[in-house]
Structure 1
Amino acid sequence: MPTTSHPRVEVVLGDLTEQDTAAIVTAANESLLGGGGVDGAVHRAAGPRLAQAGGALAPCEPGDAVATPAFDLCPPVRHVIHTVGPLWEGGGYGETEVLASCYRRCLAEADRLGAESLAFPAIATGAYGFPAELAARIAVETLTGTPTAVTLIRLVAFDAPTRALLAALLGDLPGDLLGDLLGGSR
């Protein structure tokens, strides 16, 4: 399978379950049975067979990723890649390495599946408490620095501050506008 170190990375504000990509990533828990936040939204959109398929593959350890069919998600989405982010415990327990592993393992799963386009949420920044700015930096650095056959990576932000943060890290948003959107602090 051919690989490239430079997939196109874009940032959008929107609903992960409505992306026009071959696969989407969900920020799962170890049981892969569904949860809250983005994982709950993915499970609702994909239907009950997603939990059945995920449960058959569980447990999924933090930093790892596994794939299932997309079931009731609208085409072209054919696969859901489930990854378990780290619970933020202050940064001294390898959380940054685990989060980077989530992104690398998702790319490896996409490559294994032949998925040329992949949409990601902000992994571990919700209930798992990972600081948004650090998580965004890890996402951008890992995704732009990991060889993959994926040609399009879409970072799907749930809110405007996350979108601004990701766009600034990709060089698509002036830093002063980022500061305004984040309330003057970075």
Structure 2
Amino acid sequence: MVRISFVQGDITEQQVDAVVNAANSSLLGGGGVDGAIHRQGGPEILAACRDLRASRYGSGLPTGRAVATTAGRLPARWVIHTVGPVWQSHEDRSDLLASCYRESLRVADELGAHTVAFPAVSTGVYRWPMDDAARIAVRAVREADTAVSEVRFVLFDDAAYEAFVAQ
């Protein structure tokens, strides 16, 4: 059974096997967590993402899927990029959000990663309500069939931390 922990802090500083990036489908960097991971990890991450775009993901990484690259200069070994869904009030996209966590853990298993740090996927510019995102994320991790021994949710601010701890 995976051990789940919650910390408030900077995901780019986590000493884990794999850090999950809340990426956009282009895989070429962006704002929020994505921008921070690319900035701190250095050009090696962007180069690996460009290689992925040139080979398997010419149209971008689909929503709910995950793929790994080097972690560059981060203290982790790998970055697992996942594309969260944009929240829609008129359409339930919960399964796509849960898929981000399941797929990231599947990729972590393929890598042999034992410790994984997750951000609150889709809660930034994709506007997913924090309480709902926390519920979906924690449930998906608890229900996942994975060899990962520790999942660490790394939350940027008090509100996110409180929402995840409440789960």
Q: TM-score, normalised on structure 2? A: 0.94
Q: Are 1:45 and 2:44 counterparts?
A: no
Residues 25-64 of structure 1 correspond to what in structure 2 (within 5 A)?
Answer: 25-58=20-53, 59-64=60-65
Provide the C-alpha distance between the structure 2 equivalents of 1:126 and 1:106, rounded to a whole number of angstroms: 19
Amino acid across the alignment from 2:69: T
The number of residue pairs the alignment matches comes to 161
2-side partners of 1:135 and 1:55: how far apart? Answer: 29
Which range is displaced more, 112-121 or 65-74? 65-74
The answer to whether 1:78 aligns with 2:73 is no
* TM-score normalised by L of structure 1: 0.84
Q: Which consecutive residues of structure 2, in runs of 5 or more, have no partner in the other structure? A: 54-59
Distance of 1:83 and 1:107 partners within structure 2: 11
- Equivalent residue for 1:177? none
Partner of 1:17: 12
Matched ranges for 1:11-160 at <5 A? 11-58=6-53, 59-74=60-75, 77-92=76-91, 94-160=92-158
Task: State the percentage of identical aligned residues.
Answer: 49
Query: For each residue in 1:128-182, what CA deviation from the matched residue of structure 2 results, as whole angstroms up to 9, or x when unmatched?
Result: 111111100000000011110000000001001111111111xxxxxxxxxxxxx
Give the Cα separation in 2 of the matches to 1:118 and 1:64: 16
Could you tell me which runs of 5 or more consecutive residues in structure 1 were left unpaired when the two chains were aligned.
Answer: 1-5, 170-186
For residues 30 and 57 of structure 1, what CA distance do their matches in structure 2 show?
Answer: 11
Partner of 1:184: none
**In structure 2, what is the Cα distance between the partners aligned to 1:84 and 1:53?**
16
Compare CA radii of gyration and give the structure with the larger one: 1
